[in-house]
Amino acid sequence: MSSWSPVDWIQYEWDEHRGVVGPVRTSLSDTRGWDHKLVPWLDPGSRPGVSVCRLVVDGRVVVLARSRAGADSRRGLRVVAYLGGDAVRMPWPTMREALALAPLWVGEPPPTDHEPVDLAELTGHFAEYGEALEVRAREGAGTLAPIVFTALRHPGMRLAVVSQGDPAAQMWALADILRSALGVAPETFSTYESEDFRPGPEIVFLPAWPGPSSRAPRRLRVDLREPVGDHADGELAECLVAAYSAGTLEGLTVRAGMTEDMPWGERLALLRAALSTPVPALAGPAHPSDHPEPPEAGPRASPEPAEAPDPDDRAEEPGVIPEPAPQHAEAQRPPASAAVHDMVAEYEAWMRDATTREQERLILIEFREWMLDRAPELRHPLSTYAGYHALRSLLRSGEPQPPVRREPERSPWLDPRWLALAGLSALILLFQLAVLLR
């Protein structure tokens, strides 16, 4: 037996008598309490077509399904606002339902005035529309690396995104990727907005940046047309997007050993360790270290120093300004040997086969001990590979903390306040004794 879950609604259109967009049909007896709260988000801009906005207003979910019949005219604007449940306890309609069903909701508004619609009827076509939107989301997810990169570096920051694609599909994919990577994802958004100055949704999608304005944007701006650049978090974002497009992101998070209640910083460290590929990073020569390496114990044939590059040769390259050579130029370190490659690959295989965090921690500790016991030319190349910093952070989290030195407890009888009180009491007793002996 199905339960009745009523959803109130308000339909807004152009009012010829007042010359504004206002309520024309509703299930409520009075809409004045909602009108002034929803007016800023009723008209997204001049672009024709369907857009959707999901807000939290006074702790309640509100979904605005918006449609514009023609450009540069508010007379073709239609907005159906669905007033959902509590944003914490009953957050319906959900983010996915709003993204998938907004075209249906605005194209077929509730047929009967003054009556709410049933939630089951409102979301009855979600399986069909949601499956189609997920297919589009995976096909177009390749452009999302810039926004994933920004969200990883600034978690929780409100964003404005310039998108030339389908923002509904991009929001669907973005929520999947961030929920897998960070454990949380934005739930409020607005598509096809014309400006990013108003507070409200966590993410707004714009076809282009707004023109000059005296107001400063309240959001961090992201342009999906710009590359992420050469950055460790950029590489991680590209790997996450590629895994989502290929349908392997969920398996990646399981293999990394992440749990739902894990802090986002620890989740990112596990993802970096799971996605790292250290063998190619070890193939090239390392850069000179700023700190001298200690000599290795025991006799070992010292490697022949590599020949330093000739400053005259660098001067022949276009756009290169030759630098004065130091008096004692440090020789370039040799690359790691084939045995090192094999050993690192073996540790990586052990990490992939580990089933618990304790096994991973013990493997990482053994890896560090092996690394520190190798020749000096090995340590620096390992520190340049992408997963090394994640390994170090995990090792630190698993290392036993030094015992805290506790001072010996002082007897309460040695408290200065107690000694002062005892001395005063003794003087009073002596005074009374002297009076009695007279």
CB 219 within 8 A of CB 158: yes
Residue 214 banded pLDDT, cuts 50, 70, 90: low
Q: Is there a single domain that holds both residue 107 and residue 150?
A: no
pLDDT of residue 313: 45
In a domain, 384, yes or no: yes
pLDDT digits (tens, 9 = 90+) for 316-347: 444 444 444 444 433 444 444 555 566 666 66
Q: Is there a single domain that holds both residue 106 and residue 183?
A: no
In a domain, 266, yes or no: no
CB 189 within 8 A of CB 96: no
Structure tokens at 266: 């620890």
In a domain, 309, yes or no: no
Q: Can you list the positions of beta strands (E) in 33-174?
A: 49-57, 60-68, 77-86, 117-118, 159-162
Q: How far apart are CA 246 and CA 244, in angstroms?
A: 5
SS3 of 212-249: the string is CCCCCCCCEEEECCCCCCCCHHHHHHHHHHHHHHHCCH
Domain, as residue range, for 34? 6-95+102-114
Q: Is there a single domain that holds both residue 142 and residue 43?
A: no
3-class DSSP state of 156: coil
Q: Is the dihedral of CA 426, 428, 431, 433 positive or negative?
A: negative
Q: Is there a single domain that holds both residue 161 and residue 89?
A: no
In a domain, 416, yes or no: no
In a domain, 61, yes or no: yes
Q: Is there a single domain that holds both residue 73 and residue 11?
A: yes
pLDDT digits (tens, 9 = 90+) for 106-129: 999 998 888 999 999 999 999 999
In a domain, 182, yes or no: yes
pLDDT of residue 114: 85
pLDDT of residue 437: 80
Q: Is there a single domain that holds both residue 250 and residue 343?
A: no
**Average of per-residue pLDDT across 364-384:** 55
Q: Which of 136-140, 302-306, 325-329, 404-408 has the highest mean pLDDT?
A: 136-140
Half-sphere exposure of 253 (CA within 13 A, CB side): 21
Q: Is there a single domain that holds both residue 181 and residue 76?
A: no
In a domain, 324, yes or no: no
Q: How far apart are the first and last CA of the chain?
A: 100
pLDDT of residue 263: 87
pLDDT digits (tens, 9 = 90+) for 17-62: 888 899 999 999 999 899 999 999 999 888 889 999 999 999 999 9
In terms of Cα–Cα distance, which of 100, 144, 353, 153 is closest to 249?
144
In terms of Cα–Cα distance, which of 190, 186, 195, 201 is closest to 216?
195
Q: Is there a single domain that holds both residue 240 and residue 199?
A: yes
**Average of per-residue pLDDT across 87-97:** 94
Q: Is there a single domain that holds both residue 155 and residue 72?
A: no
Q: Is there a single domain that holds both residue 391 and residue 282?
A: yes
In a domain, 434, yes or no: no
Q: What angle do CA 136, 109, 102 make, to 5 degrees?
A: 20
Q: Is there a single domain that holds both residue 142 and residue 252?
A: yes
Tally of domains within the chain: 3
Rounded to an integer, what is the distance from CA 315 to the centroid of its chain? Answer: 44
Q: Is there a single domain that holds both residue 151 and residue 38?
A: no
Helix axes 388-398, 376-384, angle to 10 degrees: 100
